[in-house]
Amino acid sequence: MAEAPQISSSLLGNPPQTNSVEETTAVATTGFAGSGTSFLSTTKGIIVLVLSGLAVLALILGLSLGLTVGRQNNNSCGLSNNSTGQDTDNGNTDGGTNVPDYSSNWKQPESLATSEGWFPAPRGGSDPAWVEAYQKAARLVGRMSLLEKVNVTTGTGWQMGPCVGNTGTTSVGFPSLCLQDGPLGIRFAYPITAFPAGITTAATFNKDLMHSRGRAMGREARNLGINALLGPCIGPLGRSPLGGRNWETFGSDPYLQGVAGQLTVRGIQELRVMAVVKHWLGNEQERFRRKAELGSWPKVKEALSANIGGRATREVYAWPFQDAVREGAAGVMCSYQQVNNSYACENSWLLNGLLKDELGFQGFVVSDWLAQRSGVNSVIAGMDMTMPGDGLSWADSLSLLGANLTSMVVNGTVPVSRLNDMALRIVASWYKLGQDSPKFLPKQKKPLFSSWLKDEIGPLYPRFDAQGQQMVVQNYFTDPRGQLGKDGNLSQIQIGDEDHATLARQVAAEGIVMLKNFNGTLPMSGGTIRKGPYKQIAIFGSDAAHNPLGPNGCVDRACNVGTLGQGWGSGSVEYAYIISPLEAIQARAIQDRTTVDFVLQDGGNLINSTARQVNKRGKDAACLVFVTSDSGEGYVSSEGNLGDRNDLKLWHDGDTVILSVADNCENTVVVIHSVGPVLMEAWADHPNVTAILMANLPGQESGSSLVDVLYGNVNPSGHLPYTIGKSLADYGAHAEIMWDPNWEVPQHDFTEGIYTDYKWFDKHNITPRYEFGYGMSYTSFNFSQLEITTLWNGELAEGLPSPTGLDVKNAEIKNSTLPKEKDLQFPKGWKRVSYFVYPYLPSPTTKPEKTTPMPTPYPYPPGYTNSSRNLTSTHSSSGGYQGGNPALWDPIFRVELLVTNTGKVAGKVAAQLYLTFPKDIEYDTPVRQLRGFEKVELAAGESKIVVFELTRRDISVWSEKKGAWIVPRDKGGVGVGRYGVFVGDSSRGKGVSGETEKIPRGN
């Protein structure tokens, strides 16, 4: 347990200092689920506003003070130089004070997308796999006071604990939880492994590596004392190739994202660390995502609304979350923006209806940091935890939960049963992962690092700088990359599977996609036109070398200087080291006695002259050009890109650099480090561009993994997890980011429905530069002998059977008596810590600055009820257990084929299965959809049988009319038609095809 504030022994029976508004009483800010309207309520029918002047007005209007733009940036020495606690924009001048008045062209929409109200919030504990955890949780939560339950649900405030998120503590043995970024490693910790990004991991198409990477991240998190890792990131889905955070996720196909996300969750949670999947849901661009980031557009009143239809929601955006929930993910993070004109963290249909009911989610929903926009409405809509605990601004300590939640329950606005369920879901997740075991944490029984302080010893609360504050050990400088021994100590870094550097190198190498290899240019160790390694190499481009400011010289990696190993934002990590391509190639060149020249500029005449000089060596020489494209989170800009990319062009005039080299060097190899697809039309067909490698974002092992592939130690086996088009327009009109607001609440209509990335290309018969799933090898493969077997016996019903066996009685808290209000106030003589978020109500002697009558009765959202639903009669037919109705995973078909290595060297290939729905059905479906992949390793001449199973979910569509997953019928209603099956090396590559048998219809 982390050190608590100084308290007297007489107060030990009360919760430690955690969670509340500073000075006065509770403020409960609510908004209708389904609208952006905000309301205020408090105890005894009045609102007691504790803010002064402008803050009161700001809260009433639903405005956030200041122009905060995301999670705070922190310099490498500890706390941010920005003492206000708000984000800096690192030079962002986008918009500024000279923004055109876009509102002059606005027209109020004739109608707005809405989400139906879905109440009450389903109680956790209905899934048999969670019964034991909920029974334990019910016993523990039953011993908690109301204030302690509030502590469990509320963060302690920004920078008021060692982690990016810290919950309050209790006196019954439930600790303060540490929640920490992120999706590719442990943010703010040092040293840790900077793993390849999600997009690189997806490019491996290797399930074993996806799982192993998750385990390694889970091990490092556990060894550092972290309870919940904020990852994996399985949203955004890559609707736009320009999306700033696409690189954190696993590509632009929901099936690929789902498998990678599920295996990552499995790996993390095998180490008993909670996986918090994010961002739920529809956060497909950074621009306009947060109200607090709208300073450049003063007439925009609310964050963007992603307006998504029910079918696209299930078949595209929620698909990977369904896989993660089925795996048992402990947490889901709700996103910043609105969905169908209701903020994601207060959208009752999204949280209660879709996530907790239909997908059967048993864990807890936590807000993205400051994504909560209301009090009562967020709670009744299904949000269970607020982070970092503050209200509408960083470090304001005016939590929308905390004391507000205490007040909401006491005055009856929020039923105590809802508070119980919030606490139960969090505590049950703790039990489910076995974190109650004394062996879970290191012997210090607390996080072994500080996100904010660099020195070993520091103040207990980093943001609170009062003199005389308790000083504690903040950083133990522990290397978490080893194993936790039985004595609670960390051993040395392990070898083999436990060597995280080796694992990171393997992921990065298998994530390299070879797009072109003319006439055996690669491998560089020797090929069909050359015996032995090249005698002379020239390297061009700043991406080949280190950032001169150091690997962590730019805050949150928000610059593209030196070699690019990760994007920027809260999903980034600190490098313990990064191996640059230049140093790795030089090391190999010493071994091969190769001469290496380099020009680490992105322009200039020196490039031309050096390339010409190297070219004189003919076939014994090669020129390597390194180029990049970067993006990140929207709270900071880099080179004029405010999170999202401005376009698909290479940065630093990369096209010109490539052409300058290729025009002068007949053997030019292009290496791209990028967050996603880039345009290549200017040079991809240049006769002197002989090889192209898409190296994605390799993390710390950038150079070493690249050399593995360049020299043939690793046969390239990566496949594109997205489509590379010939222009941005190829991706469809929806591929453009919404650059300018179209109304005071920007309306982003997902009119393309289910047709994103390669499905859009296929539907409109657009030829890409390189298709989804594409990737070359130093060897060749053949796919043959396809056999399809029907596993389902008898008739197959169109719909799903109703879920059975659901029970929530085990999650009941019997003692729900509310304490007297005086017992919920600050204890007499309590010494408060500034910026800390407490659960206590203020003393009645405190004079409020302003009061406003609360509407009576309380204006709940339309359709609100607290009456329990009869799960057997009104439960979604597509839901029930975690991950949804178990029948969705009934195996229907088995597909087998033979894969043969027909080349001369060993290699790996990802056999990809694409499904085509029967033609004679009433639903519009994509030409092909990924429904399976298996990576196989084959020696030269070797063959292996690869087996796939297609489930009911794989062959189903979401019916808007019926509100359920269905297996579509032939238009004549005869039965289930023939599905087309293609298995090959890409979505449009070479492979083998077949058809399923028809299945008779059922009732």
Task: Please give the pLDDT value at position 810.
Answer: 63
Measure the CA–CA gap between 268 and 258, rounded to whole angstroms: 15
What is the pLDDT confidence band of residue 587, given thresholds at 50, 70 and 90? very high
**Which of the pair, 101 or 939, is modelled with greater confidence?**
939
What is the pLDDT confidence band of residue 526, given thresholds at 50, 70 and 90? confident
What is the pLDDT confidence band of residue 816, given thresholds at 50, 70 and 90? confident
Measure the CA–CA gap between 15 and 951, rounded to whole angstroms: 49
Region 208-227: what's the mean pLDDT?
Answer: 97
Task: Please give the pLDDT value at position 875.
Answer: 63
Measure the CA–CA gap between 795 and 809, rounded to whole angstroms: 36
What is the pLDDT confidence band of residue 15, given thresholds at 50, 70 and 90? very low
Omega before residue 698 within 30° of 0, cis = no
pLDDT tens digits, 135-169: 999 999 999 999 999 999 999 999 999 999 999 99
Instruction: State whether residue 728 is helix, strand or coil.
Output: helix
Measure the CA–CA gap between 389 and 377, rounded to whole angstroms: 16
pLDDT tens digits, 680-733: 999 999 999 999 999 999 999 999 999 999 999 999 999 999 999 999 999 999
Q: 366-375, 462-471, 825-834: lowest mean pLDDT where?
A: 462-471
Q: Is the pLDDT of residue 20 over 50?
A: no
Q: How far is CA 401 from the centre of its chain?
A: 24
The beta strand positions in 640-764, using DSSP E, are 668-674, 689-694, 747-749
Q: Is the pLDDT of residue 86 over 70?
A: no
User: Would you say 13 and 833 are in contact if contact means Cβ atoms under 8 Å apart?
Assistant: no
Q: Is the pLDDT of residue 50 over 90?
A: no
What is the pLDDT confidence band of residue 807, given thresholds at 50, 70 and 90? low
Region 85-102: what's the mean pLDDT?
Answer: 40
Task: Please give the pLDDT value at position 428.
Answer: 98
Residue owning tokens 């972290």: 226
Closest CA to 263 of 305, 292, 232: 232
Omega before residue 191 within 30° of 0, cis = yes
Region 365-375: what's the mean pLDDT?
Answer: 98
Confirm whether pTM is higher than 0.85: yes
What is the pLDDT confidence band of residue 843, given thresholds at 50, 70 and 90? confident
Is residue 757 part of the annotated active site? The answer reads no
Cα dihedral sign, 454-460-462-468: negative
**Hey, what are 378's tokens?**
């967020």
Region 640-653: what's the mean pLDDT?
Answer: 98
Rounded-to-5 percentages of helix, strand, coil across the chain: 25, 20, 55
pLDDT tens digits, 381-438: 999 999 999 999 999 999 999 999 999 999 999 999 999 999 999 999 999 999 999 9
Name the average pLDDT for the chain.
87
Residue owning tokens 């029974």: 135
Q: Is the pLDDT of residue 793 over 50?
A: yes
Measure the CA–CA gap between 989 and 969, rounded to whole angstroms: 29
DSSP string covering 248-289: GTT-S-HHHHHHHHHHHHHHHHHTTPEEEEEEETT---STT-
Measure the CA–CA gap between 32 and 36, rounded to whole angstroms: 7
Region 753-778: what's the mean pLDDT?
Answer: 98
Q: 348-362, 375-389, 644-658, 829-843: lowest mean pLDDT where?
A: 829-843
Q: Is the pLDDT of residue 181 over 50?
A: yes
Q: How far is residue 749 from each of residues 280, 634, 1003, measured CA to CA in Å?
A: 17, 20, 37
pLDDT tens digits, 476-507: 999 999 764 555 454 444 433 468 999 999 99
Q: Is the pLDDT of residue 36 over 80?
A: no
Distance, first Cα to last Cα, the chain: 57
Torsions phi, psi for 787 (to 5 deg): -130, 130
Region 338-354: what's the mean pLDDT?
Answer: 98
Active-site option among 87, 253, 323, 368: 368
**Over the range 240-261, which residues count as b (16 or more CB within 10 Å of their CB) and which as e?**
bbbbbbbbbbbbbbbbbbbbbb
Residue 902 is classified by DSSP as -
Q: Is the pLDDT of residue 741 over 50?
A: yes
What is the pLDDT confidence band of residue 460, given thresholds at 50, 70 and 90? very high
What is the pLDDT confidence band of residue 527, given thresholds at 50, 70 and 90? low
